[in-house]
Amino acid sequence: MTASEIAKDIYWVGAVDWNRRNFHGYSVCPKGTTYNAFLIKDEKTTLIDTVSAEFSGELLCNIAQATGSGKVDYIVVNHVEPDHSGALPRLVESLKPEKIFISPMGLKVLKEYYNCEGWPLEVVGNDTTLSIGRRSLKFLETRMLHWPDSMMTYVVEDKLLISSDAFGQNLASSERFADQVDQGELWGQTSRYYANIVLPYSTVTLKVLEEVTKPGWEIGMIAPDHGLIWRGEGVGQVVEAYTRYARQAPTNKAVVFYDTMWHSTEHMAGAIADGLVQTGVSVKIMSLAANHHSDVMAEVFEAGAVLAGSATHNNGVLPSMAGMLAYMKGLRPQGKIGAAFGSYGWSGESMKHIAAQMADMGFEMIEGVRVKNAPKHEQLKGCVQLGRTVGEALKAKLAAS
């Protein structure tokens, strides 16, 4: 995708990965993604971030297009994860930058990924102000948002925050700005990205939001390393959304996810959802056989109540449920009501296993339902009642919040 001027003498020079579906091995990105890199033409032409290694050639072309000469004096490495640093070795060899700026933690990680011998590396941090000519750059170390090395770069004169992984979305497009694309798609992808990548670092996120809204950090544009750039009203909207995401306030939504062998647990899921709907809660039913765990996680993140069900298998849960619970535990959702359910043939441990794990994750657990073999009418009524009980509890929690 061609270089694009996003502000006077500041260019997007990244790459659009239209066909990417597997994101870092743990999530899916059905709409592709982008690796954003930004070039500032000033007395010292400065490149901020690079792209995944397979797009190195495209990045070099875009840099040549934006600069006219292909000359880059400085490179800033906001984040060493290979989707943003993979092109760096080729760039250093081709462009021979005068200096490469990186956070203290970034320096350690970079040396563990690449042979940096002879690279002109220089550490920058929160106290650094770097003049590149008419402009000055400030840096904000954002450790664990979402790696220990992560930092943001602020272009003071342009009020531009280049925010690394924060505020991003996996959304391939020919447009560069958030206000140019379908808003439902944009916000869906923004929330999904937070749920699957940023969620465990919500405490850090709140601290960063506090920092970047202080005087001296007036922000007119936020340019993340994935997806669309926020400008105008979008800046306030995404800051407000991130504050809401990080606080994880309860919502009037529930998700019922399950896996089943002979449809018994599936029928229970349907009846539980009916009970939730009867209390006015918006519900999503998600089979783990039909939905990727990152799709389910996107809904768990948005839900105030989460109900998980599995048939008992070899005295435990089905493998898909074991994987989903492990994935959810790592992402540390907070402040949600939970309940477990499931069918069984003889021993019936699945509900106990799910409930114990969810309790351990901090869910406010409500006693679940289990059914031997196929649920009969009376037992399905019990499932409806479980849905109603969870729905009422969620309503009470929302009223009190």
Q: What is the binding site for ligand FEO (CB under 6 A)?
A: 79, 81, 83-84, 146-147, 165, 225-226
Told to judge if 353 belongs to the known catalytic residues of this protein, a careful annotator would answer no
Q: Measured in whole angstroms, how far is the alpha carbon of residue 377 from the centre of its chain?
A: 42
Q: Could you tell me the smallest distance in angstroms from the CB atom of residue 364 to ligand FEO?
A: 31
Told to judge if 84 belongs to the known catalytic residues of this protein, a careful annotator would answer no
Catalytic residue (choose from 81, 141, 266, 299) = 81
Structure tokens at 358: 């969810």
- By beta-carbon proximity to ligand FEO, the closer residue of 79 and 135 is 79
Alpha-carbon distances, residue 254 vs 147, 380, 398 (angstroms): 31, 19, 13
Q: Could you tell me the smallest distance in angstroms from the CB atom of residue 172 to ligand FEO?
A: 14
Catalytic residue (choose from 42, 49, 149, 165) = 165
Told to judge if 245 belongs to the known catalytic residues of this protein, a careful annotator would answer no
- By beta-carbon proximity to ligand FEO, the closer residue of 78 and 343 is 78
Helices 350-361, 319-331: crossing angle, 10 deg rounding: 10
Told to judge if 226 belongs to the known catalytic residues of this protein, a careful annotator would answer yes
Q: Measured in whole angstroms, how far is the alpha carbon of residue 349 from the centre of its chain?
A: 33
HSE-CB of 298 using CA atoms within 13 angstroms? 17
Told to judge if 79 belongs to the known catalytic residues of this protein, a careful annotator would answer yes
Q: Could you tell me the smallest distance in angstroms from the CB atom of residue 82 to ligand FEO?
A: 8
Q: Could you tell me the smallest distance in angstroms from the CB atom of residue 83 to ligand FEO?
A: 5
Told to judge if 83 belongs to the known catalytic residues of this protein, a careful annotator would answer yes
Instruction: Name the phi and psi angles at 69, rounded to 5.
Output: -110, -20
The amino acid that residue 273 corresponds to is A
Contact 163, 222 (CB under 8 A): yes
Contact 228, 178 (CB under 8 A): yes
Which residue's C-beta sits nearest to ligand FEO?
81
Told to judge if 165 belongs to the known catalytic residues of this protein, a careful annotator would answer yes
- By beta-carbon proximity to ligand FEO, the closer residue of 42 and 225 is 225
Helix intervals (H) in 69-103: 82-85, 88-95
- By beta-carbon proximity to ligand FEO, the closer residue of 148 and 250 is 148
Catalytic machinery residues: 24, 79, 81, 83, 146, 165, 193, 226
